[in-house]
Structures are given as structure tokens and as C-alpha cells.
Structure 1
Amino acid sequence: MKSFQITRTLPTDATDAALRADVLQGLTGTPKTLPPKWFYDAYGSELFEMIVALPGYYIGRLERELLAAHAREIGAVCGARTLVELGSGSSEKTRHLISALPLHTYLPVDVSESALRQAGQALAAERPDLHVHALIADFTTAFTLPPTPGPRLVAFLGSTIGNLLPRERGVFLAAVRALLAPGDALLLGTDLVKDPGRLVAAYDDDTTGLFNRNVLSVINRELGADFDLDAFEHVALWDAAADHEWIEMRLRSRREQTVKIPALDLAVDFAAGEDLRTEISAKFRPDRLTGELAAAGLEVERFFTSPDQAYALTLAVPTDHATGPSTVRTTASVS
């Protein structure tokens, strides 16, 4: 029987320190911003699960369908003995990969110890032949993977890469490339550019509004701030600029106001109508995605898309270890 273990690479106070730094930098900058990772306390995670179930929010559904349809082919191509999942959360989406791969080790990576422990222990009980080694780490900063059998498949799903600005994406992809040895691969989930009306509709609803404003609740609770959640309006916009092509989620101040954050000895002034950006969600075109991967030293090995060309899974390998020309696949079997 294989084992479950958990390794912490983050200091126990790292989350508090990161929140303080992000709030101070983001709310004193122009324009004001906050990183989307602070949506996800326990309540925020519950709200996100509700969002995923909404008819208009297609990302989770299409990704699960693509994984179900192509996990065996992905497994046949990469033959991974270790699956590394960045931002693993509940580990639900990767069940298809875990079943299809000849795995020895599953290595989920997340900042939440509770999420890792709950998901990892459940999976270890379901799959006694699988070694589950959870890693408490922030995948947006440098970290080292523990020794595990190769080849390895690094999965980064949910179009989470779209939350990074272009420069940040370049740094992230280069860091992932540095983790890959000969024979290893990256599986990347990305939302694709499509009709702006469909894009905005996926982010502009009451539940997403609650989710967006939850970042203010987190700051109130953790830093003693006095944000009035009702004083901010949820806004979702499509930025069609060629170098952007992303959805922006914002919180718009309904009135002129000053918010105090005692833990930072900070007072933040908001003008009426002023926006606080809480998330970007970049959408990709295949050629742009291929270019960004190539710049990081990665080559497309398989490219799977949903029938409506709304979502993609990309299997990429280090350029100097590619097995042949890229193969583009359109998934006609997924509805």
C-alpha cells in the first residue's frame, strides 16, 4: 500500500505576509488592484463551486469533458509515472488523468494545507496503489519538486494561467520549463477568444458579484479593514486590445469613500466611480499560445479543443525533446 504525505515549503506566516504585501502594493498603486488568489477563503471557494455549476460558466464543464475524452491519449503520449498538479484545490478534475496514467506518484501543489490534506487523504484511500505527496507551495514563486519517478506530467488547468499578465505568464512558463526533464510534459488548460457576449456573460452574474466582493471580506477579517461591501458594484468588462484580449473583473466604488486598514496603518481613498481591478482572465488564440510556449522553450505536442472552439487543452514538451511536429486535434466527440 502506498502512502500519503504532505510537505510544507512555505513558512507558516507566509499567507499573512503575502496578503499584507499585496494589499499595500495594490491599494496604493494606480490603478488600484488586488490579486485574485485572495477570493479563495472557505466562503469564496464555496461561491466558486456555485459559479462552476452555472449554465453560463462553461470553463469547468468543457475542461472536464476534454479530460474525459482524451486522458488515455495524453497518457499514451507522455507515459507519466508522476503527475504534478499546480493549484490542485480539490483534485477533482484530475481524476481522469490519474485513472489513465501509469502513475506511481501524484503530487498536488497548493497554498491551502486543508485543501491538500482533505483531497490527498481521500485520494490515497481510493487508490491504495498510488503514492500521494502533497506540497504546500505557491506555484507563482520559485519552488523545487521532490524527487519522484519520471517521466512527469505537470498539469496547470482551469485556465488559471489567464489570471497572469503577459510578462508574468512568460516568467511562469519559463519556470515550469526549468522543472521539466527529458521526457516530461506540461498539460495546460486555456480559455479561447470567442464572442465577447458569451465571455462577459460567464463573469457577470449575482454569484460572481458575491465572489468578487468576497476579497473585501477577506481583507476586513484578516487585516481589520472597514470595507462596506454594499458600497462597491461588481463589474465585468471585455478588453479587446490585441495585446490584452482579457476579461477584467472590477469593483466600482458607488460613492466617494475612505477605507481604513488598521493592520497596515493605511487609509485608502476611493472616488465615486473609481474601479479596483480584482482579476484579469486572459483568453487565447492558438497561434498566440503556441508563441508564448515557444518563447519559454516548449513545443506543442497535442492540441485538443472543444467542438465550439471555446476551450483548449495543450500538451507541450521541452523544445529540445519534442518527438515530432505539433498535432492539432479538434474534439468532435465532446458536446
Structure 2
Amino acid sequence: MNDTDVDVYIGADELARTLAADAAAGLTGSPKWLPPTWFYDARGSRLFDEITRLPEYYPTRAERTALRAHADEIAAHTGTKTLVELGSGSSDKTRLLLDALRAHGSLGAFVPLDVSETALRESVAAIAAEYPALQVHGVVGDFTRHLRHLPRGGTRTVAFLGGTIGNLLPGPRARLLAELRDLLEPGEWLLLGADLVKDPAVLVPAYDDALGVTAEFNRNVLHVLNRELGADFDPGAFDHVARWDPGHEWIEMRLRARTPMRVRLPELGVTIAFDAGEELLTEVSAKFRRDRLTAELATAGFAVRYWWTDPEGLFSLSLSRAEPR
């Protein structure tokens, strides 16, 4: 019988305060922006799950293919006793790692971290049922603020999958990688899933699918603001925009106002004006080249020891060791 536990470091009140602060800062900024965190209420999570099964959305399939091919190698190289997963969600792909580590005989504990307490508790219960010999210790928190609460001890590997690293701009990304290095002891490991630069004809449709699921996912942030902050956005009055920025090598998702409008946010005591055609930036998804990502990891104190991709070279998995200071 396994031990399970969940530590909560970010509750509903703090989430509400953070949403209000992000909305106040982003919607009064010039240009306007919102962080992608707020896509993911229950509806947004269902929409994203649907996105991962769309023919245009290659990242989830490509990463799973690479994990399936190389999980045994990851287990053998790392000898992981404690697997930590950041932004764990349902931990669907992670089961490939858990199976390989269990077969290798080293794994004793799994520590998923996620901002959604409901999703995390569901995942912890499911993993505990599937892996009865495993100690499962969930952490409800934001990986940009709560890494210090992750348990220490055991030979740890931190898995940060799904290309989520690309949602961070270069400054915050560098800070997160440095904080991950501070978390780990020399010789422990970081398994990083990162999307790769490729033809925009492949990239853009992954964020602008023919069925419009991604468009609805993008507009979901407006539904969240309406529900949580009493806003009166008309989500249908905004067009979904997915644009490749070749200079920064990232995809930008935006919402473009079709007509001039004024939106009230009574919880914040503000009214926000949109011009016709004005855009609200909701997500950046950076794509990487091997040399650039290797250099960023090295700056943070990691040495890339292994690099894999799916057979088509769409998505990367890098296994990096924390180096002595």
C-alpha cells in the first residue's frame, strides 16, 4: 500500500488575488497582455486536452513518441529514486517514465507539482492506485514561486515536459532554470521537453487549427475574467490570432478586438477601452535550437548529457545533469 500526501502552498484566495493583479497590470498595459496561466480553468483544461488530439497539434504526440523510445535509457542513466514533475496536470505522458523507472528498480517516490489543487488531487489518486508501491507526494503550487517547497532527498530527476519552458520569456526562463539548479544537488537531473524551430507552415496550424478549438481555448481567458472578476467581455467579439515571430523564434497567440469596445471589470474598479483591431497578447510559445537551449542550460549550471528527438525531429528531450558550482 502506498503513502500519499498533498501539500498546498497556493489556495483559492491567493489565486484570486494573483488573477486580479495580473488582469490589472496586463489590461492597463500598452500593449495589453495576460499570462497564459489563466487559460486553465476546468473548461480550459478540457479544451487543451482536445487540442492535444488534433491532427495539427504535433507537440504532444512527438514528445510521447520520444519518451516511449527513450524512457528506459533515462531510467538507466539517472537511477532516479524520486521523480519530480513540474506542471504535472494529469501526468499522462509521465507514466512512460514511471513504468521505466519502476522496471529499473530504483524509483521510490513521485512528486507532482501543479497550480490546480483539484487536478493535482485527481492525478495523485490515480497514480497512487496504478502504482501501489510508490510514495506519491503532491505539491499544489506555482513552479515560478514554490520550488523551495519541493522535498529533498533521494536521487532526484525533475521532469519539465510539454514544451512549457517556451511559455516563459527569456528573463523568467533563465531565472527558473537557475532556481531549478539551486534546487538540485550536483549529479541530479533535469529532463526537459522543448519544442524545436521548424517550418512556420507546420508551427502556425498547431496554434490555429481548422476546427477552431485553439481559438476557443484562447478566448477562454475572457470567460475566466467574466466569471472571476465580474467583467463583461464578449468573447465572440475577439478574433483568435496565431503569429510566428521569426526574430524571436516564437509563436504569439493574441485576441484581436473586431470593433471598438469598453469592458468593465467591477472587481478591479476599472473600465478598459479597446480600439478596433487592437490586440491582447495571451501567450508566447518559444521554439528552440539545440545550441541555444544547451547554452541556456549551461548558464544555469546544467550540462546536457543526452539529447533525443522524435523520428521527425519536431520535439526534443534533453537530459541534463546539475553540475558542481
TM above 0.5, one fold? yes
CA distance in 1, matches of 2:11, 2:71: 35
Residue 279 of structure 1 is aligned with which of 261, 276, 283?
283
CA distance in 2, matches of 1:297, 1:69: 27
Question: Match for residue 13 of structure 2?
Answer: 13
Assess if the C-alpha contact under 8 Å between 1:105 and 1:131 holds in 2: yes
Assess if the C-alpha contact under 8 Å between 2:187 and 2:323 holds in 1: no
TM-aligned CA deviation for residue 9 of structure 1: 1.6
Question: Match for residue 164 of structure 1?
Answer: 168
Question: Match for residue 235 of structure 2?
Answer: 229
Residue 218 of structure 2 is aligned with which of 199, 212, 216?
212
Question: Match for residue 315 of structure 1?
Answer: 319
CA distance in 2, matches of 1:231, 1:286: 40
Gaps of 5+ in 1: 322-335
Q: Which amino acid aligns with 2:202?
A: R
> Scaled by the length of structure 2, what TM-score is found?
0.96
CA distance in 2, matches of 1:164, 1:146: 21
CA distance in 1, matches of 2:150, 2:172: 24
Assess if the C-alpha contact under 8 Å between 2:9 and 2:146 holds in 1: no
Segments ≥4 residues shifted beyond 3 Å: 145-149
Question: Match for residue 258 of structure 2?
Answer: 254
Question: Match for residue 207 of structure 2?
Answer: 203
Assess if the C-alpha contact under 8 Å between 1:105 and 1:148 holds in 2: no
Question: Match for residue 106 of structure 1?
Answer: 110
Q: Compared with structure 1, are the counterparts of its residues 174 and 148 closer, same or farther at alpha carbon in structure 2 (3 Å cutoff)?
A: closer
What percent of counterpart residues are identical? 55
Residue 121 of structure 1 is aligned with which of 91, 110, 125?
125
Assess if the C-alpha contact under 8 Å between 1:150 and 1:184 holds in 2: no
TM-aligned CA deviation for residue 309 of structure 1: 1.6
Secondary structure at 1:264 match in 2: coil
CA distance in 1, matches of 2:318, 2:194: 8
CA distance in 1, matches of 2:197, 2:151: 38
CA distance in 2, matches of 1:92, 1:260: 39
CA distance in 2, matches of 1:261, 1:239: 31
Instruction: Show the 5 A alignment for 1:136-147.
Output: 136-147=140-151
Q: Once the two structures are superposed, what CA deviation does each residue of 1:215-247 show, in whole Å capped at 9, x if it has no partner? A: 000000000000001110000000000xx1000
* Higher RCO, 1 vs 2 (CA within 8 Å, ≥6 residues apart): 2
Question: Match for residue 96 of structure 1?
Answer: 96
CA distance in 1, matches of 2:3, 2:271: 49
Q: Which amino acid aligns with 2:91?
A: S
TM-aligned CA deviation for residue 122 of structure 1: 1.2
> Scaled by the length of structure 1, what TM-score is found?
0.93
How many residue pairs get aligned? The number is: 319
Assess if the C-alpha contact under 8 Å between 1:193 and 1:245 holds in 2: yes
Q: Compared with structure 1, are the counterparts of its residues 211 and 147 closer, same or farther at alpha carbon in structure 2 (3 Å cutoff)?
A: closer
CA distance in 2, matches of 1:175, 1:212: 29
CA distance in 2, matches of 1:164, 1:147: 24
Question: Match for residue 44 of structure 2?
Answer: 44
CA distance in 1, matches of 2:292, 2:147: 27
CA distance in 1, matches of 2:16, 2:190: 31
Question: Match for residue 185 of structure 1?
Answer: 189
Question: Match for residue 82 of structure 1?
Answer: 82
CA distance in 1, matches of 2:298, 2:187: 17
